[in-house]
């Protein structure tokens, strides 16, 4: 019989720095998610608002026999690339697709678990219709910060999330205490004011988010956001860069996540063949050449200094 401690030890052997267990069942945050979508904050991301939205209500819609969800986190933080390179969000500036790396790790975990027990399972990495940040919080991986990222107290927020939904009956972990306190660093630093007040807290209006504008939005980007986008050509890390909890965030040794810088001018003039060769196996392929060159044209017109890093003072929401 597998114990939670055994499961966690095996997950760490498979390369996951964070691991916890959530109970399978109705999602505690579903109503909040449904309200967020109804308010239009998902923009044109129809995969968040179509028939798949209802599936997010309960992980048992993905695996009817589910009893536990093993939630994992994979560190992707790296050192900064050269300042003359195109600014690509940290999760995407490597040479590999994180979906493949996480799935490989979860497949290895299944093999190890099956040596101890028989069970049904389903791997989920980013694209499955479930509320993975809510599950990660319930599994004790971290709290959901004002920037909407899962923040782990000792290690920060630079983590990919993955889930293994299983029929195993495992004791769940408890969600950690929210530790953002009165800090508003992420809210104040967002150049497009995408983090907006909602009730007694904050939420993300994706329609104003640089990541949405440079990756998900098809067609022209509204001119009102051009200056805020600056030299971001794929995604944005500002709300994580300024988070005090990332001041001492560890750095990954994963080869596929190491930065592969490219000059902004080269990106703007890239041929279709060069784009395919450079970004074929990375998340940047999602925005296609037309999208990346649209973004590069804005960046060349509105180049700005690098995002502010975590301040060296001692103010902290601990």
The pLDDT tens digits for 74-123 are: 999 998 777 778 899 999 999 999 999 999 999 999 999 999 999 999 99
The whole-model pTM stands at 0.93
Name the band, by pLDDT with cuts 50, 70 and 90, for residue 303: low
272 in the same domain as 127: no
- What is the distance between the alpha carbons of residues 73 and 120, in angstroms, rounded to a whole number? 22
Do 160 and 18 share a domain, yes or no? yes
In this prediction, residue 236 carries a pLDDT of: 97
Supply the angle between the helices 4-13 and 98-114 in degrees, to the nearest 10: 130
Same domain, yes or no: 104 and 37: yes
Same domain? For 151 and 58 the reply is yes
Domain presence at residue 312: no
Does residue 317 fall inside a structural domain? no
Average pLDDT, the chain: 93
| Longest CA pairwise span in the chain (Å) | 61
Q: What range defines the domain where residue 131 resides? A: 4-80+96-166
Give yes or no: residues 247 and 284 share one domain.
yes
**Per-residue confidence band for 155, with pLDDT thresholds at 50, 70 and 90:** very high
d(CA 211, CA 213): 6
Domain presence at residue 142: yes
Domain count, the chain: 2
Q: CA-CA distance, 18 to 184, in Å (whole number)?
A: 26
pLDDT tens figures, 264-287: 999 999 999 999 999 999 999 999
The three-state secondary structure class of 164 is: strand
Q: Are residues 119 and 199 in the same domain?
A: no
DSSP string, 287-306: GHHHHHHHHHHHHHHS--PP
Active site residues: 126
Q: SS3 string of 208-241?
A: HCHHHHHHHCCCCCCHHHHHHHCCEEECCCHHHH
């Amino acid at each position: 019989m597998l114990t939670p401690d055994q499961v966690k030890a095996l997950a760490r052997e498979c390369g996951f720095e964070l691991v916890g267990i959530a109970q399978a069942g109705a999602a505690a945050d579903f109503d909040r998610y449904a309200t967020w979508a109804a308010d239009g904050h998902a923009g044109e991301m129809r995969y968040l608002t179509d028939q798949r939205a209802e599936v997010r209500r309960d992980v048992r819609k993905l695996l009817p026999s589910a009893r536990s969800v093993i939630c994992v986190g994979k560190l992707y933080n790296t050192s900064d690339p050269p300042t003359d390179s195109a600014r690509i969000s940290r999760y995407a500036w490597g040479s590999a697709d994180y979906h493949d790396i996480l799935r490989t790790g979860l497949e290895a975990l299944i093999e190890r678990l099956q040596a101890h027990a028989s069970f049904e399972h389903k791997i989920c990495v980013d694209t499955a219709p479930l509320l993975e940040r809510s599950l990660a919080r319930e599994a004790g991986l971290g709290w959901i910060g004002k920037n909407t990222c899962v923040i782990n107290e000792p290690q920060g927020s630079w983590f990919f999330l993955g889930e293994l939904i299983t029929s195993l009956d495992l004791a769940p972990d408890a969600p950690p205490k929210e530790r953002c306190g009165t800090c508003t660093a992420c809210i104040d630093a967002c150049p497009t004011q995408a983090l907006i007040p909602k009730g007694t807290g904050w939420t993300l209006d994706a329609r104003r988010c640089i990541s949405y504008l440079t990756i998900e939005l098809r067609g022209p980007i509204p001119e009102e956001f051009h200056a805020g986008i600056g030299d971001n050509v794929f995604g944005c890390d500002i709300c994580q860069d300024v988070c005090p909890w990332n001041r001492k965030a560890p750095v990954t040794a994963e080869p596929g996540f190491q930065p592969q810088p490219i000059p902004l001018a080269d990106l703007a003039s890239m041929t279709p063949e060069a784009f395919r060769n450079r970004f074929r196996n990375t998340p940047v392929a999602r925005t296609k050449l037309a999208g990346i060159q649209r973004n590069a044209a804005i960046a060349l017109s509105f180049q700005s200094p690098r995002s502010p890093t975590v301040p060296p003072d001692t103010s902290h929401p601990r």
